[in-house]
Amino acid sequence: MAARAMNSCVIIRSAASPPPTFWSCCPQRQFRTRRFHRYLRLHSRCSLPRYPLSHDGARSYSVQSLVETVIEELYSMRKRGRIRASTELGLTSTSELLEDKVGKQAMQKGLLLEFKKDSERLLLAVALRPDGKKNWIVSDQNGVTTSIKPQQVTFIVPGIENFDPMEISNFVQKAHNNLDPALLEFAWNELLENKKSVTVEELAEMIFGSAEPLESYCAYLLLSRDDIYFTVLGSKGPQSIYGPRPVRQVDQLLQKKLAKEAEEKEIEEFVQLLKSIKEMPPHAKPPNSMWKTEEKNWQKIKSLEAFAIDACKNDDQKRMTGTILKAMGMAKTASAAVTLLIDIGYFPVHVNLDLLKLSIRTDHPDEIVLAAESLLLESTDLDEVDRVDLTHLKVYAIDVDEADELDDALSATRLEDGRIRIWIHVADPASLVQPGSIIDKEARRRGTSVFLPTATYPMFPERLAMQGMSLKQGQQCNAVTVSVILRSDGSIEEYSVENSIIKPTYMLTYESASELLHMNLDEEIELKILSEAATLRFRWRQQQGAIDASNLETRIKVTNPNDPEPSIKLYVENQSDPAMRLVSEMMILCGEVIATYGSYNKIPLPYRGQPQSNIDTSAFAHLPEGPVRNSAIVRIMHAAEMDFRKPVRHGILGIPGYVQFTSPIRRYMDLLAHYQVKAFIRGDSPPFSAGELEGMASMINMYIRVVRRLCNSSLRYWVLEYLRRQSKNTKFRAVVLKFIKDRNALILLLEIGTQASVWVSTGVQIGDEVEVRVEEAHPRDDILCLKEVPRA
């Protein structure tokens, strides 16, 4: 047996009795009998009691069938004028409906009203007294007295005068206990069939059998929370008229609601999964591949990742992420998304966000890898017959200790007349890769190899770069060799450019090369000659106006970067170190020769220049030599320029022209120069015109700037992580480069090779050394706070 109070009667129906036929006979739309019958079975409580203005008595109800009840009640309502036939939708304008149905209700003391406290809260309150001309002082359901504006009032409960503020909570509780959204479907069917609009009081009378305060407020709550069946046709102040939505629109809204509920349930399950994984120890967290097993979970993870790196493709991803973060009790911020992904083990603790944000290519597509493997197996050397055999030379390859791709190497001898002859051997990837090939196009898209503290992402597939292109100790290697004979003053007397075969003798780090130079061994006379040539070249360039901008350079190698506490090795390289100076001078020499060669033979090349050749270095003579003076000079230097038809003077280097040529495995612009030069040596036309070179250079340089930004931010992150791990008592030597403002100075940390700012004491001058210690270091937020250590 199920009972339902409807209007002024109780509907009592046996579970075995047949469903009433009234609902299935509606000509416009059949009522959802199954849902309504289920609703009758599940909701076996009495009618909403009227709010007892005189807390006495209860209504009496008679027992009737469902059909008789509904028909009799609707007839009674119409007879009493509660529903007027003249209010048919589509026949009466909104303004007429408002005039006909909604009366103007002025604010007065004792009214019970709902008002908008803020963007998220609606509260019931009792009007106490006016506050100025328009505002009112009210006492809300929480016992708080406040002043509200008329536009904050969203509803005035009808039929109440002098309401007791102490009774608000009781009133609210009774209303919420008796809300049943299913009642709206009954009213919607009836009103839609008869094309009727309805006020709050009319709806209360229709579904509760009474328009008294509590019933009216319940009806208002149902309507205000409904987003399926009814829409507001018009409003006058806090009073509104509602009309039933069309059948098709209701169906669409119901489908959306069901979809939303399913999504909410899905998100709830996903959040529970996140919470459980978050509590797991690091070794027990699932691998990233686990998230891909279920598409729905994978899409949510990708939404979180996109939000974390500010790369959401649409509003749905943002909304999804916001919902997940809110359910996790976290702020809707990118940093919160990063934290969550770290907590569940999807991101490593030291995730490189810039690598993700900048969409840097890390892996090579399968088709590129397959093409590279084919090259290694089937490659033919187009220049084989023209190669000069230089395998008799002692060849030094000098680079950083973790270098994977070796692009260049050096040889030298002293001629009988005392002049120095130098050979600069450069790896020859253009003997394998042809312009316009699939591998060439992929290298062009990348523009450069990417060297990060945590990993290297080569421009070419790794096996091709390492086995097919890189110079290897003790093995015959194809190369393009630039041979130069220097005059006694360091200027170029003779040069040649030719394809060659070499056999590298030594693979040295800068440290080991410097050590060999310091030992001055007779067996390594060639290395000593190279050092002498570098000194001659440096002196000659300075006479041509070159500016020495050598400084300290930081290099970091991180082992096992995915570990929470990876191993960090920090190196500080002085660019004026003998071995680094040697290599640098030889690379500049090579670039000058290629520019001269290209100019003489009218070869379109990426010529680099620096027109600023009139810097008066004497203006910086008052600054200490070394990092302080060099840093000051670098700050006023202009950016390099490029020309693709003729050389441009490079004022900073002090040479008439310059072409980057010595890193064709790592830099695509160098590879382009190889394509052009090798075609000329072969007797062919250059594959690219000056205009084509310019177009490619524009795109490549744009990408290189992005990579440079990534490299700088990655280095900065790991420098800060290195400093974060240091003891608070560790002292670092620093030199003051300049003052930023007042006593806030820009300093160079000598043991770190990094610039930072710190407040220094009075009396400290530019060029002075100070000691500092780390107060705070937060790599993720790029924060470094240093404090000067007082002098003893």
pLDDT at residue 12, rounded to an integer: 30
With bands split at pLDDT 50, 70 and 90, how would you rate the model's confidence at 381? confident
C-alpha–C-alpha distance, residues 206 and 172, integer Å? 21
Q: Which of 31-45, 193-207, 221-235, 568-582 is predicted least confidently? A: 31-45
Q: For residue 655, list its beta bridge partners.
A: 650
In this prediction, residues 699-711 reach a mean pLDDT of: 95
- Decide: 364 and 441 in contact? Cβ < 8 Å: no
C-alpha distance from residue 642 to each of 405, 502, 600, 694, 695 (Å): 26, 32, 18, 9, 12
Q: What DSSP character marks residue 87?
A: G
Q: Report pLDDT for 178.
A: 85
Tell me which residue of 310, 309, 286 sits closest to 298, measured CA to CA.
286
Strands 732-741 and 408-414: unpaired
Instruction: Find the helix packing angle between 247-278 and 334-343, rounded to 10°.
Output: 50
Q: For 762-774, what is each residue's pLDDT tens digit?
A: 889 999 999 999 9
Q: List the structure tokens of 272.
A: 């529970």
Quick one: which of 8, 171, 159 has its CA closest to 74?
Answer: 8
| pLDDT for residue 62 is more than 50 | no
Q: Which residues pair with 482 in a beta bridge?
A: 424, 497
The pair of structure tokens assigned to 544 is: 């041509």
Please measure the distance between the N-terminal and C-terminal CA atoms of the chain and give it in whole angstroms. Answer: 94
**Do 188 and 250 touch, CB atoms closer than 8 A?**
yes
CA-to-CA distance for 604 and 787, rounded, in angstroms?
Answer: 54
Query: Which residue type, as a one-letter code, is found at position 648?
Result: V
Amino acid identity of residue 504, one-letter, is P
Compute the average pLDDT of residues 391-397.
97
Give the whole-angstrom CA distance, residue 703 versus residue 572.
Answer: 27
CA dist list (Å): 611 to 5, 469, 538, 651: 93, 35, 19, 6
Q: Tokens at residue 280, please?
A: 């797991």
Confidence of residue 200 (pLDDT cuts 50, 70, 90): very high
DSSP 174-227: HHHHT--THHHHHHHHHHHHTTB-B-HHHHHHHHHS--SHHHHHHHHHHHHH-S
Whether 365 contacts 378, CB under 8 Å: no
Q: Which is more confident, 356 or 119?
A: 356
pLDDT bin (cut points 50, 70, 90) of residue 697 is: very high
Please give the distance of CA 791 from its chain centroid, rounded to a whole number: 44
Beta-carbon contacts of residue 641 (< 8 Å; ≥ 6 apart): 608, 609, 610, 611, 648
- The helix/strand/coil state of 747 is strand
Q: What is the pLDDT of residue 53?
A: 33
If we measure between CA atoms, which residue out of 258, 231, 259 comes closest to residue 243?
Answer: 231
> Which residues are 5's β-sheet partners?
10
687 three-state secondary structure: coil
Identify the band that residue 544 occupies on the pLDDT scale cut at 50, 70 and 90. Answer: very high
pLDDT at 622: 83
pLDDT higher than threshold 80 for residue 103: no
Q: What is the pTM of this model?
A: 0.75
Q: Under the phi-then-psi rule, with left for phi > 0, alpha for psi from -120 to 50, and beta for the rest, what region is 617? A: alpha
Given a cut of 80, is residue 618 above it in pLDDT? no
DSSP codes, 245-309: PPHHHHHHHHHHHHHHHHHHHHHHHHHHHHHHHHTS-GGGSPPHHHHTTSHHHHHHHHHHHHHHT
Burial of 692 from C-beta contacts in 10 A (0-12 / 13-18 / 19+):
middle
Q: Give the C-alpha distances (Å, rounded to integers) separating 254 from 182, 249, 266, 442.
A: 13, 9, 18, 51
**Residue 493 confidence (pLDDT) above 50:** yes
The total number of residues shown for the chain amounts to 792
pLDDT value at residue 97 = 55
pLDDT at 602 over 90: yes
747 phi, psi to nearest 5 deg: -125, 160
Find all residues with CB under 8 Å of 758, minimum gap 6, and list them.
734, 744, 745, 747, 770, 772, 786, 787, 788
60 pLDDT above the threshold of 80: no
Check residue 80 and give its pLDDT: 42
**Distance between CA 473 and CA 466 in Å, rounded?**
12
CB 785 within 8 A of CB 774: yes
Residue 181's pLDDT band, with cuts at 50, 70 and 90, is confident
Token look-up 């047949």 returns 18
The two tokens of residue 95 are 């303004």
Alpha-helix residue ranges (DSSP H) falling in 43-84? 66-79
The first and second tokens of residue 69, run together, are 């009840």
pLDDT for position 332 = 96
Torsion of CA 322, 328, 334, 339, to 10 degrees: -160
237 pLDDT higher than 90:
no
**Mean of all residue pLDDT scores within the chain:** 86
Predicted local confidence at residue 430, as pLDDT: 96
Using DSSP, state whether 602 is helix, strand or coil.
coil
What percent of the residues of the chain are helix, what percent strand, and what percent coil, each to the nearest 5?
40, 20, 35
* 732, pLDDT greater than 50: yes
Give me the amino acid identity at 359.
S
Average pLDDT of the residues in 551-578: 93
Q: Check residue 182 and give its pLDDT.
A: 87
**How far apart are alpha carbons 115 and 106 in whole angstroms?**
15
Average pLDDT over residues 534-558: 92
More confident residue, 699 or 21: 699
- Picking from 502, 497, 498, 499, the residue whose alpha carbon sits closest to that of residue 477 is 502
Could you tell me the strand order of the sheet in which 408-414 lies? 388-389, 492-502, 477-486, 420-427, 408-414, 396-399, 506-509
Euclidean distance between CA atoms 409 and 411, whole angstroms: 7
